[in-house]
Copies of this chain bind each other. A is one copy, B any other.
Amino acid sequence: MFKLFPLENGLENVQGFFCGATNVGMRTKPTDAANSNIDGDVAFIRSETPCDISAVFTSNKFQAAPIKHFQKYPKGFQTDFVLINAKNANAMTGKKGIEDIESIMSTLSTKQNVLNPVMSSTGVIGYRLPIDKITSAFDMLDFNTSNSHHAARAIMTTDAFKKELAYRVELEDDSSFHIAAICKGAGMINPAMATMLCFIITDADVPKSDMDELLTVATEGSFNRISVDGDTSTNDTVMLLSNKQSSSYDKDAFSDALNKIMFELAMLVLKDGEGANKLVAFEVNGARNEEEAKRASMALSNSLLVKTALFGEDPNWGRIASTIGASGITCDDDTLTIHYDDLLIYSAEFRELDKVREEKAYKIMKQERFKVTCDIGLGDASYTSYGCDLSYEYVKINAEYRT
């Protein structure tokens, strides 16, 4: 038995960690996100003692320089410093991009004692980092205080709101540990975790092997199940750092807390899907195997026609059925059923939508959150992914985003 207590604020709840941000002038417009809360472009997370670190990176073949830089450290390395910048992805920058990070970290080490520092970047692809601007941050940052809000805001790009969460986990023996995270991401979100950065820190006494295992599981259950537009960025990163400053640990409790914090952040990212207004769970049951359940579910959360139907609040189940059929999985219109929440919307006996059910369907679709359940009727495998609608705003944001 264990209990999870949500905490106010974010990263500052975890013992022995410090974080903050500053503004070095990389944002050319006063506000380039949907709100005006962005007041920084370079952030840091530091631990006063060395941390184990586990990370999951993008599946994009053009991994950005900070990811390549991370991978140059020996397996199982420890670190006590993460530097994060917005506005420039340091992607497609070749060897020079990695050298730039090394140069920045070299300057950092003259100001602050750091162990194997790592970097994470988000922004436009194809430009060298402005090294002088970024290193100017080291004169402004106070590495011995914590301002999680500031850090969470500084890493935003097209995000409409900052994303941070923290929990205290109490075990049966009355010991407790903390876990907290900041996250950014709104557009380009896809099964392979696109343009999404997530930094999770904990003081739990978690073994490195558990960190690796549980981070992979939690990623599959959270960020890999959401889709805003099916694209995948060069920079996606989820990092988990533990400094073990609490002697408390229980694998089930830690796993539960990690899954919960990552799932909730994924839902916040989805809710912040560029211009999105609705959050829809696509549960596929009765598939022949999990691979097919996943394929159909992800096809639904990625489909432009489904997304625009959600935006139009059109209970047109034909687009749902057509998308399942187009996904290529084994299916049969005689065994398929489709529900919106608890409302049966399609089965072999009820193919046409009568006025009564159509009215009910309209009401369900007007909700901010609802579930589409598709039972393929041919097996036992299930998979749930999460999608959002596609609005005019999405096109506007992505047509205008860059400078």
Chain A residues near B (Cβ < 8 Å) = 59-63, 89, 91-94, 124-128, 187-188, 190, 192, 194, 229-234, 303-305, 308-309, 311-312, 314, 316-319, 321-331, 333-334, 346, 348, 351-353, 390-392, 394-396, 398-402
Determine if B192 and A352 form an interchain contact, defined as CB atoms under 8 angstroms apart: no
User: 23 interchain pairs (CB within 8 A)?
Assistant: A59-B326, A61-B324, A61-B328, A62-B321, A62-B331, A62-B333, A91-B321, A91-B322, A92-B318, A94-B333, A94-B348, A94-B351, A230-B303, A231-B305, A231-B326, A305-B398, A308-B395, A308-B398, A312-B401, A312-B402, A390-B395, A391-B395, A395-B395
User: Could you say which residues of chain B place their CB within 8 Å of the CB of A400?
Assistant: 312
Determine if A94 and B334 form an interchain contact, defined as CB atoms under 8 angstroms apart: yes
**Chain B minimum-CB-distance residue to A195:** B322
Q: How many copies of this chain sit in the oligomeric assembly?
A: 2
- Complex Cα distance, B231 from A383, in Å, reads 21
Expressed in whole angstroms, the minimum distance between the Cβ of A186 and any Cβ of chain B is 13
- Complex Cα distance, B322 from A62, in Å, reads 7
- Complex Cα distance, B333 from A326, in Å, reads 33
Are A395 and B321 CB-contacts (below 8 A) given A124-B316, A230-B304? no
What 3 A-B pairs have minimum CB-CB distances, sorted nearest first?
A: A125-B318, A312-B399, A62-B325
- Complex Cα distance, B391 from A304, in Å, reads 13
User: Could you say which residues of chain B place their CB within 8 Å of the CB of A402?
Assistant: 312, 314, 316
Determine if B325 and A60 form an interchain contact, defined as CB atoms under 8 angstroms apart: yes
- Complex Cα distance, B346 from A187, in Å, reads 24
Determine if A304 and B398 form an interchain contact, defined as CB atoms under 8 angstroms apart: yes
Determine if B232 and A322 form an interchain contact, defined as CB atoms under 8 angstroms apart: yes
Expressed in whole angstroms, the minimum distance between the Cβ of A94 and any Cβ of chain B is 6
- Complex Cα distance, B230 from A327, in Å, reads 11
**Chain B minimum-CB-distance residue to A61:** B325
Expressed in whole angstroms, the minimum distance between the Cβ of A276 and any Cβ of chain B is 12
User: Could you say which residues of chain B place their CB within 8 Å of the CB of A233?
Assistant: 322, 326
- Complex Cα distance, B403 from A316, in Å, reads 10
Expressed in whole angstroms, the minimum distance between the Cβ of A222 and any Cβ of chain B is 20
Determine if B61 and A125 form an interchain contact, defined as CB atoms under 8 angstroms apart: no
User: Could you say which residues of chain B place their CB within 8 Å of the CB of A390?
Assistant: 395
- Complex Cα distance, B277 from A395, in Å, reads 14
Expressed in whole angstroms, the minimum distance between the Cβ of A304 and any Cβ of chain B is 4
Pick from B59, B312, B318: contact of A328, CB below 8 A. B59
Expressed in whole angstroms, the minimum distance between the Cβ of A23 and any Cβ of chain B is 24
Determine if B322 and A231 form an interchain contact, defined as CB atoms under 8 angstroms apart: yes
Determine if A309 and B61 form an interchain contact, defined as CB atoms under 8 angstroms apart: no
Determine if B399 and A309 form an interchain contact, defined as CB atoms under 8 angstroms apart: yes
Pick from B230, B318, B331: contact of A89, CB below 8 A. B318
Are A126 and B330 CB-contacts (below 8 A) given A303-B231, A312-B399, A322-B233? no
Expressed in whole angstroms, the minimum distance between the Cβ of A167 and any Cβ of chain B is 33
User: Could you say which residues of chain B place their CB within 8 Å of the CB of A353?
Assistant: 126
